[in-house]
Amino acid sequence: MHSDHNGEPISFANCDVVVTQTTVNQRLAPAPIENRSAIAWWEDGRLILELGCQGTHPIRNTVSEIYGLEHDQMRVICPDVGGGFGAKAHAAPEAVVLGELSRRTGRPVRWTETRSENMTGMGHGRGQIQTVTLGGTKDGDLLAYKIEILQDAGGYPNMGAILPYATRIMATGVYDIPAVEVSSKSVATNTTPTGAYRGAGRPEASAALERAVDLFADEAGLDPAEVRRRNFVQPDAFPFTTPTGTIYDSGNYEESLNRALAAAGYNELLEEQASRRASGDRRLMGIGIATYVEITGAGVGSEYGSVEVLADGSARVVTGSNPYGQGHITSWSMLVSDQTGIPLDRIEVVYGDTDLVPTGETTGGSRSLQIAGSAVFDATGKLVEIARQRAADLLEANPADIVLDTDTARFHVAGTPAVSLGWEDIGATSSDEANQLFALSDFTASGPTFPFGTHVAVVEIDSDTGKVELRRMIACDDAGVILNPLLVDGQVHGGLAQGISQALFEEVRYDEDGNPLSTTLLDYLMPSAAEFPLFERVELETPSPINPLGAKGIGESGTIGSTPAVQNAVVDAVSHLGIRHIDMPLTPERVWRAINGI
């Protein structure tokens, strides 16, 4: 499948400096801690399927169609999930066939894959070969950018074939580059199909562009930080439309760079590097920068959220979004508690069961808080207004005069707090279904959001062995308004670990005949906490106008900036030796060969 995303080829004739490089964005295995597992059985003529997934309703809709069932003739249940990363968005074929096996045997049938089956059967991520050309003036103004993408779609191409589209829409990243050309070719190969994996096309865009910027800066003899600063889209330019037609909602890219460099002590790092090089230090020091922007909450429309207050004053939240490590229960409870005053431990969150949740979408693309969270937020606001009306009736007052004190979770007439009603008093009026204290929202965002940030990596390389040690990792990630800082830290830390791991460790490999060589965790290098430094988080919040929470996605950002930052740092460490580029993963052997010209 070939796609030429721009019309006429762009020209680099007016550029003083032009650099070209072919880079490999290698295949990765999602390798969740929990392999795929599912169980199916029939109950009163209904098919019941229980599995770890990223969305029960889309799976129910697909599988029921395969079996010729109406939606109400099937139930999908999702328990706690041990990692998804996009690869559990769809039901595996082995899970789909369980219903037929159960029908034939007359008993429940379970499937659980082995680790080797997971490594070879679950969709892989990335898998691009990119040729980038970047041109600009000798002063550092970027004028033209071209990227040619060769995408490995694997066998039975599906989502992997269209991953270059996500790379295309984010092709120019944080820069105001006037001329852009993107072309891609997706090819079927006799390998595991590729698909969504934490970032799904956007990390590939950032990796290509941020390497190109460093190559350009090196060729022009300029500081890579200053080249970035000189070409950022400015804060007053938003909403900003890129040459590929993507409309960014908000951003402050230079501020993220400033904060990350200040936290890193950039000037001191440069001085240390110069001193060590002058002294002939055998441990080579490198500093890498990557400023990124990504798209979140794209492609899927609305999300269901409802809130009900029960007779005892507790609350029940029903959400169509399936959590698998994001912290939905905590976040949705916070949204409700903040508006109602009901304590967190008296709020129940229901999810992951098509019999209990009316509708839902796939949890992916860093969409949860900004869409599903906004639905819960909106439903809670409606609920408070319903409760205010009932409190007014009970207190024989005008609803406009009723105040909800969220510190005490009690309603009273303004100016007379001595006479008040709690949620249990309001809930007691919900004696039948017609009088439920209930509100719902099916929130639809007006568009996607675009979180951004700057990552700075500091590495040391043993020049005798080629081993890379990541000394520091500084991350300034802006995801709009932050609801829970601890959950954001967790999402960023996980993303950083996976992004760094792509740069240094992980690679799915095949021999020339297509036989897999990475079938266990003995031959696919998964890092542990011991391989990482303590991550240094830098805060920045630029609200989004797209949703009432002002939130943007954060689940994938860590993987998008960290990979090129680490790769740039490694190349920077050996740049004084005349080395311009090393492909990932930056293993000791690969780095040692580059140092020794082998």
Domains of the chain and any CATH numbers: 1-30+128-207 (3.30.365.10), 37-121 (3.30.365.10), 254-296+449-598 (3.30.365.10), 302-444 (3.30.365.10)
Which tokens sit at 16?
């003083």
Residue 20 neighbours by CB under 8 Å, 6+ apart: 131, 132, 133
What's the DSSP call for residue 510? B
> How many whole angstroms separate alpha carbon 84 and alpha carbon 53?
7
Q: What is the pLDDT of residues 433-485, one digit of tens each?
A: 768 899 999 999 999 999 999 999 999 999 999 999 999 999 999 999 999 99
Q: What is the pLDDT of residues 516-534, one digit of tens each?
A: 999 999 999 999 999 999 9
Q: What SS3 class is residue 180?
A: strand
Q: What SS3 class is residue 158?
A: coil
This prediction's pTM: 0.96
> How many whole angstroms separate alpha carbon 498 and alpha carbon 475?
14
pLDDT of res. 4: 55
Amino acid, res. 57: H
Closest CA to 171 of 210, 126, 197, 198: 210
The single residue listed with the structure tokens 């005892």 is 312
Closest CA to 53 of 470, 403, 360: 360
Strand partners, 478: 452, 540
pLDDT tens-place values along the chain, 598 residues long? 555 555 578 999 999 999 999 999 999 999 999 999 999 999 999 999 999 999 999 999 999 999 999 999 999 999 999 999 999 999 999 999 999 999 999 999 999 999 999 999 999 999 999 999 999 999 999 999 999 999 999 999 889 999 999 999 999 999 999 999 999 999 999 999 999 999 999 999 999 999 999 999 999 999 999 999 999 999 999 999 999 999 999 999 999 999 999 999 999 999 999 999 999 999 999 999 999 999 999 876 789 999 999 999 999 999 999 999 999 999 999 999 999 999 999 999 999 999 999 999 999 999 999 999 999 999 999 999 999 999 999 999 999 999 999 999 999 999 999 999 999 999 988 767 768 899 999 999 999 999 999 999 999 999 999 999 999 999 999 999 999 999 999 999 999 999 999 999 999 999 999 999 999 999 999 999 999 999 999 999 999 999 999 999 999 999 999 999 999 999 999 999 999 999 999 999 999 999 999 9
Secondary structure of 126-139 in HEC code, one letter for each residue = EEEEEEEEEEECCC
CA angle 35, 41, 46 (to 5 degrees): 125
Residue 245 burial (CB < 10 Å; 0-12/13-18/19+)?
Answer: exposed
